[in-house]
Amino acid sequence: MSVQAESSPFVSPPFAVERQLTGKLLSFVLTTGVEPLLARQGAFSEDEALELLRTRLGFVLDDPVRVRMIRVLLDFLADCGYLREEPGGRLSWDPSATPPPGCESGERSSDDPGGLLGFFGRCLDHAPAFLRGQPPLFDFGEACTSAWEGLLGNGDFALARAYLARLVLPRNGASPCQALVLCYGPGFDLVEIERRGPGTVATALDFTGSFFACASARLRHADRVQWVSSAAWGGFGTPLPFDAGTFDAVLFSCADPYVPAAKREAVYRDICRVIRPGGALGILTRSYPDRERIEVSEPWVRRGTFCHDFLESVCLGWQGFRDAASSRRLFRDAGFTIDVVTLNGSVWRLLKQEPGAGQATGRRER
């Protein structure tokens, strides 16, 4: 999620993590046999590539998660220049392709802001076994909470989360605000609310109770948070346990890629229901890189997003990043006005439409 200083409200290292993840995933393509297998083929379709990986490499591609994982890998290779598109939408390996200038595969922990490389390194180590049918690496039980703390507490996410809070929540001293932190996880969004002072009253809800201990321990005043038991909510696709118009703001960070596609519109309609008219929803995610390079234009952000999507696929429940264009349509259909989209489609501020109000165009920032 690193961004260049000239396009960001904060300064982050110049894509150090994205460069290293790109190098590591390209090495994976070579060492697992994907590169020599595809390089020997002529033009091939995505479905033909899937069949080759099944029959020649033993990948068990009989479920949507693993199939999508390979399609993300093919998009990554095309974006890096290794695959070129032939007439009819077929693909072929470009024998002259070389790694993008500046990508690295070595370990440089000093450039890892808080745990991204450690988390994704473990995911990459597990990926060959996962593609051959082994179970997911991480779930959301108590045994995995420290791994999620390492990922979600990294420096880049922390800066983006602070920026999202400034967009969505009132400043210190403003009128009282009722805020819902949905899927609070290790509690980093709750920390942001606490830093903003007593003007915001936080309600915390997750689909699992596994994170309560680490989230509450992270806060100075955990007793001021209204903790709602996970037993009160059946998870994505079931109604939130709140009345309509309960909250002025909802923070929904790093959870959208776990919402099943078939339930996604219903989930956002229900989030909209519990927000008062004119209230805000803040989303922290990534947008899947578009072919036109309009929504996600920065090359290293694109490569880093492909890497992130591929690697977190080995975690239980991962559904993948969604493209910004389809997200815009879905959010509007769910009852929101899109007010701000920034950081290559990573940070969104949506406003619940006032009764009778028309759709606003909103602002797009890079």
Structure tokens at 247: 């909250």
Q: Where does the pLDDT of residue 2 fall: very low under 50, low under 70, confident under 90, or very high at 90 and above?
A: very low
Judgement on whether residues 56 and 98 belong to the same structural domain of the protein: yes
Domain with 80 in it = 5-131
- pLDDT tens readout for residues 182-233: 999 999 999 999 998 888 999 999 999 999 999 999 999 999 999 999 999 9
Beta pairing class for 177-182 and 247-253: parallel
Residue 44 DSSP code:
B
In a domain, 247, yes or no: yes
**pTM score of the predicted model:** 0.92
Closest CA to 192 of 282, 301, 255: 282
Q: Is 250 exposed, middle or buried, given 0-12, 13-18 or 19+ CB atoms closer than 10 A?
A: buried
Which residue, 101, 131, 161, sits at the end of a domain? 131
Judgement on whether residues 278 and 347 belong to the same structural domain of the protein: yes
Structure tokens at 173: 């001293």
For residue 20, what is the domain's CATH number? 1.10.10
In a domain, 171, yes or no: yes
In a domain, 316, yes or no: no
In a domain, 40, yes or no: yes
d(CA 357, CA 161): 29
Average pLDDT of the chain is: 91
d(CA 61, CA 210): 31
Percent of the chain past pLDDT 90, that is, above it, reads: 82
91-to-58, 86, 318 alpha-carbon distances in Å: 21, 5, 27
Judgement on whether residues 214 and 263 belong to the same structural domain of the protein: yes
Judgement on whether residues 56 and 179 belong to the same structural domain of the protein: no
For residue 171, what is the domain's CATH number? 3.40.50.150
Judgement on whether residues 176 and 259 belong to the same structural domain of the protein: yes
Judgement on whether residues 28 and 156 belong to the same structural domain of the protein: no
- pLDDT tens readout for residues 59-75: 999 999 999 999 999 99
In a domain, 166, yes or no: yes
Query: In this structure, are residues 44 and 92 in contact, taking their beta carbons and an 8 Å threshold?
Result: yes
In a domain, 47, yes or no: yes
Q: For the chain, what is the domain count?
A: 2
Judgement on whether residues 41 and 169 belong to the same structural domain of the protein: no
Instruction: Give the gyration radius of the chain's Cα atoms.
Output: 21
Strands (DSSP E) contained in 82-199 are 83-85, 91-93, 177-182
- pLDDT tens readout for residues 84-142: 999 999 999 999 999 999 887 665 545 555 588 999 999 999 999 999 999 999 999 99
Beta pairing class for 363-364 and 336-342: parallel
pLDDT of residue 355: 73
d(CA 177, CA 249): 7
pLDDT of residue 199: 86
Q: Where does the pLDDT of residue 318 fall: very low under 50, low under 70, confident under 90, or very high at 90 and above?
A: very high
pLDDT surpassing 90 at residue 283:
yes
pLDDT surpassing 80 at residue 293:
yes
Reduced to 3 states (helix: H, G, I; strand: E, B; else coil), residue 352 is: strand
Backbone angles phi, psi at 261, to 5 degrees: -55, -40
Judgement on whether residues 147 and 117 belong to the same structural domain of the protein: no
pLDDT surpassing 90 at residue 364:
no
Judgement on whether residues 71 and 194 belong to the same structural domain of the protein: no
- pLDDT tens readout for residues 225-265: 999 999 999 999 999 999 999 999 999 999 999 999 999 99
Judgement on whether residues 65 and 177 belong to the same structural domain of the protein: no
Structure tokens at 182: 């949905």
Which residue, 103, 131, 159, sits at the end of a domain? 131
Which residue, 131, 156, 187, sits at the end of a domain? 131
In a domain, 314, yes or no: no
d(CA 168, CA 348): 9
In a domain, 137, yes or no: no
What count of residues does the chain have? 366
Judgement on whether residues 91 and 148 belong to the same structural domain of the protein: no
Q: Where does the pLDDT of residue 47 fall: very low under 50, low under 70, confident under 90, or very high at 90 and above?
A: very high
d(CA 102, CA 297): 18
Mean pLDDT, range 290-294, rounded to an integer: 95
List the Cα angle 61/63/67 in 5-degree steps: 55
- pLDDT tens readout for residues 129-180: 999 999 999 999 999 999 999 999 988 899 999 999 999 998 765 578 999 9
